[in-house]
Structure 1
């Protein structure tokens, strides 16, 4: 016969440390203060055609050294451009 002993933590140890909520809120405010990309709108996403063209450009650059991978990149670019 086998017996197993389980130990459960008391509720005292399961509470977050004192000041943890305040520290987390302060940290999130600090991150928001330094997140310039969201505020300025500087991040601009390329269109699907532009993204596909950049992948094709990469494929052309490695086509001579690794034609198989370049073919995979061309296929991925075509699939990315047509799906939307």
Structure 2
């Protein structure tokens, strides 16, 4: 176990960040899943900008990698265009 005050604080901080990041990553995965499951072109076109913005924000704060966000956005855009 940690012996220094700074190490104890770092453990607290990293646990809080882990829970926070896990929540937002899971929310983004659900949004992507919902968009992929959508078969209505109009609804998908309405959802795409929101999901794209969500992925961009997560990439910006390093919850997900920027290339992963770019790959997901590309796939989702081609899915919506194919509808």
Q: TM-score, normalised by structure 1?
A: 0.39
Structure with the higher fraction of residues in helix conformation: 2
Report the structure number with the largest CA radius of gyration. 1
- Larger relative CO (CA 8 A, sep 6+): 1 or 2? 2
TM-score, normalising length: structure 2:
0.39
